[in-house]
Amino acid sequence: MKNNTKKPFAVVLGCMILVALALVLSSSTLANAQPFDDHTDFETYQNEILGVMISYPKRSHIVSEQDYFNDTYGFVVRDKNQEASGFKEPIFSIEWVIEALPNDIEKLVEKAVAPYPTILIKVSPVNINGYDGYILSPMPGLSPNTLLLISANNRVYQIRYYGENSDDSLKQLVEKIVFIIPNRQLNELNIPHADDVLYVPPPDEIIKQLEGSSTRDNDSILPNNPGSLVTPPAYLLSLQPGCTSDPGYVQTQWNKFARGGSGISFAGSYFWGQGGHIRCNSTDYYNNYYALDHALNEWDAVYPHRGGTVIYAGWAGGGWRTLGRMVVIDYGNNRWGVMAHLRSLSTSAVVGNYVNSGTHIGFAGGSGDYTDNYWGIHLHQSLHLNAKLAIVTGGQYPGGGIHDGQSARPNAIYHLGGVYYPDNMYSGMPMSFAIDVPLPVHNEPANH
C-alpha cells in the first residue's frame, strides 16, 4: 500500500540537485520544527508516482502516502520530536490533485474558498521556480494553515503548510521541491477509496455484543479501584476566557464492553486545554479547548453524548484532515457535538438521522489524514456553541470541518449511577460508561 522506498541518486544530475537542495535549506524552512544548523542531516525522498523529489531534515519524517485514496495522492511530513510526545499534526502535506489540469487552477481556488463565506481568505498569485499558482491564506481548519495550488508537469499540486503566518515558510519549502516527470502509475498501488471504508463492518464478536445490547445496558457496576487518582490542578477550576459553559449535561460515550469489558475509560490523555485542545472562540479554526480524548480499544462502540440530528458523517477534510472519520451532531439550541478518529461509522450515522445517547454511531479508532492508526486508539469529542460547518462534497476538496462559535464545557457529564462535575475533573480521571435514562434537571454543579 505504501511507497516508502527511498532511492539513492544514481545519476550525476540527481547528486547535483541534492547538493543544491541541502545548501539552500535554511533554518526557517520548517517553521514548526526546532531550528537546525549546518550540521543538520538531510534525507532525500523521491516519489515517482507523485512526481516530487524533496530534501528534508532527518528529524522530520514522511509518514503517510494516503492509505485511503481521496481524489488526491500525496504524503505528509511530521516532526519526529513532536511525534515522540504524541503530537501528530503535520508540518506540511503535498498532494497531486488527480483529476485537475493546470487550466482548472482558478476553478480550484474558487472551490477552496467557497465553503467559508464568513472568513476573509487572501488569494495571491505566485510564481515559484517558474511554476504558477495561488497561495490561499489563512485557510480554516484545526489550526492555522496556508494552501498553495500550483501547476507543474501538466499536473496540479496542493501543498498545505501548517503554522501561523506560514506564507513565507511555504514559499521556501516549494523552492526546495523538484517536480520530476512521474514514471510510475498510481493504480499499481490499488489504494482503496476513502469513501469505501467509511462504514466498515466490525469483527464478528463486536457485532454479537451490539446485537445483545441495542442501547447501552445499565447492569454493570463500577470497580472499587478504577485507577490512581490525581489532584486536579487549580487552573482547571475556572472557565477558560472566551469559552462557554453549557448549562446542560452530556453523557459518557461508550458501553460496558469498552476497554476489554471494564466499561472504564479516562479523561485524557489529552484533557481540556492539553495537546491540540487549545482554542475557545476563533473564527477560522476548530474551537476545542474543552474537547476530551478517551482512550478506548479499537472497535469499542461509540455513542453521541446527547440526542440530536446528524449533520456530518464522513472523513474530516482540508485543514481538519487529522480528525479522521468524524460525526457531527446538532443537539439543538445551537449546540453541536463532534466525535472523531473513528475506526468506522455505524449505519445510523448518516446526515439527517436522529440519534440519541443510546444510539450506536460508530467505533473507536485512531483515524486521521485518510489513514487508520494515524493516532493511538481514542475517542476525541467536543461540544460547541454557535459553530459553523464547512461541507464540501465531490470534486477535489471533499470532507467537512467545523469552525467559529465557542468551545463549550458541559456543566456535568452523566454516567452509570452518577455525575461528573467539571470542578472535580482532572486529566487522567477514570470515567465509566453511561446509561440511557432521562436526565435529571440540574443546571448547577452540586458542589457550588
Shortest Cβ 375–Zn ion spacing (Å): 8
Handedness of CA 56, 61, 67, 71 (dihedral sign): negative
In this chain, which of 380, 403, 409, 415 binds Zn ion, going by CB under 5 A? 380
Cell of 215: 442501547
Cell of 19: 547538493
Give start and end residues of each alpha helix (H) in 155-219. Answer: 167-175, 204-212
Handedness of CA 293, 313, 258, 201 (dihedral sign): negative
In this chain, which of 284, 293, 300, 404 binds Zn ion, going by CB under 5 A? 293
Shortest Cβ 123–Zn ion spacing (Å): 31
- Binding residues for Zn ion, rule CB under 5 A, total 3
Stretch that binds Zn ion, among 139-147, 160-168, 359-367, 376-384 (CB under 5 A): 376-384
Nearer to Zn ion, 213 or 274 (CB): 274
Residues 51-110 close enough to bind Zn ion by CB under 5 A: none
Stretch that binds Zn ion, among 21-29, 86-94, 289-297, 327-335 (CB under 5 A): 289-297
**Which stretches of 23-144 are assigned E, i.e. beta strand?**
42-47, 52-57, 60-64, 72-79, 92-97, 122-128, 131-139
Stretch that binds Zn ion, among 92-100, 173-181, 285-293, 410-418 (CB under 5 A): 285-293
Q: Are 43 and 30 in contact (CB under 8 A)?
A: no
Binding-residue pattern over the window 240 to 269 for Zn ion, x denoting contact by CB under 5 A: ------------------------------
Nearer to Zn ion, 177 or 296 (CB): 296
Shortest Cβ 100–Zn ion spacing (Å): 32
Stretch that binds Zn ion, among 108-116, 270-278, 314-322, 429-437 (CB under 5 A): 270-278
Shortest Cβ 296–Zn ion spacing (Å): 12
Q: How far is residue 56 from each of residues 10, 59, 122, 369, 384, measured CA to CA in Å?
A: 19, 8, 28, 21, 38
Cell of 370: 485518510
Shortest Cβ 328–Zn ion spacing (Å): 15
Q: Are 382 and 338 in contact (CB under 8 A)?
A: yes
For residues 126 and 105, what is the distance between their CA atoms, to the nearest angstrom?
12
Shortest Cβ 243–Zn ion spacing (Å): 15
Name the residues that contact Zn ion, by CB under 5 A.
Answer: 270, 293, 380
